[in-house]
Amino acid sequence: MFGKSITLFKLLGFRVQIDSSWLLLAALVVWSLAEGVFPSLHEGHSTLTYWALGVLGALGLFLSLILHELSHSIVARRRGMPIRGITLFIFGGVAHMEDEPPSAKTEFLMAVAGPLASVAIAVCLYVGYLAGVAAGLPDHVLDLPYYLAFINVVLAGFNLLPAFPLDGGRVFRALLWRWKGDIRGATRIAASVGSAFGIALVGVGVLAFFTGNFVGGFWWFLIGLFLRGAARSSYQQLLTRQVLEGEPVRRFMVSEPKTVDPDLSIEDLVEDYIYRYHHDVFPVTDGSRLVGCIGVPQLREIPRSEWGERRVEDHLVPCSDANTISADSDAVKALSVMSRTGNSRLMITEGDRLVGIVALKDLLQLLSVKIDLNDIK
């Protein structure tokens, strides 16, 4: 779903990031506000005024999305669910959960928190707008809280559509889950409804495009494609967790992985290991002691002309929770670490000793086999 993310800051212990796609959205929002929305509300102001309002409106939307997602995260944390952070992307935002909600009640409370936060923001902004009117503030100043109040109502309304994984779809799943007592069945139905909504929005976009509304049709088309893809992806993620949950990492590990010495040259590492075994990461051991790992991401930073002079020990990545895991850990945890860090291989350790390697492809291979055999509890 996401491309490269940029970390902005931490808020209440949550890491706030923006996906690179959000920069495109920000530019489009500023342009549409400066050239369309604010001039249509009140004419006669300077171009600079409208562009200043456009920038402030985009910042207000940015803060509104953060508060919307932050409300989900706060409720999740209070209900005992770990949240890695918040990412804003081209169609809104998402709070990164490390697991599915433990109960239908938790799912429901988390889902409704976002729209309620957006409605509360809209009410506060509209009260501010009315206070500004009473105080006789200039119309172009009042346009900003008026627009932001309106957009927060739209944000709440859109998210309440019963299309999973939107907030309304999550409420729908929570009700189905509570009724049926089966999260997989509830997710399958909710994801099917979400996918249908996505297809419908694609159709709306195509119709709008052929009736002359090119910009609106383009956006509805993209939102529909995204919603359909997100619904299917969410269901697949649940299946993945159910397949791997309770499976120890040791079941998937290679117990005698290829290792490299710290004093090996980068050139020999590439020629004798990476090109020969086709792995993108190798453990680095000093005798029986694991000291870290090295792989393609580190090699990209070294000029090709210096490969013969440089040594592995100068560029290795030390052992940490991002690249190591214990053999008795749940495979779901390994998958979560891989997803969070982008590492496709994790080193299995006992103390400072390497006992194996687990690779993403091995986890996915079991997933594929179990789905083919319909062996999912």
Cite the active site residues: 69
Q: Alpha-carbon distance 369 to 291, whole Å? A: 35
Residue 280 CB neighbours (<10 A): 13
| Contact criterion met (CB below 8 Å) for 257 and 283 | yes
Which candidate, 364, 265, 350, 268, places its Cα nearest to that of 313?
265
Q: Which two structure tokens, joined as six digits, stand for 55?
A: 């920038």
What's the DSSP call for residue 314?
A: G
Residue in this structure with the two tokens 């206070």, named with its chain if needed? 131
- Taking the chain, what is the end-to-end CA distance rounded to the nearest angstrom? 27
Q: Alpha-carbon distance 240 to 330, whole Å? A: 13
Residue 325 CB neighbours (<10 A): 21
**Secondary structure (3-state) at 321:** coil
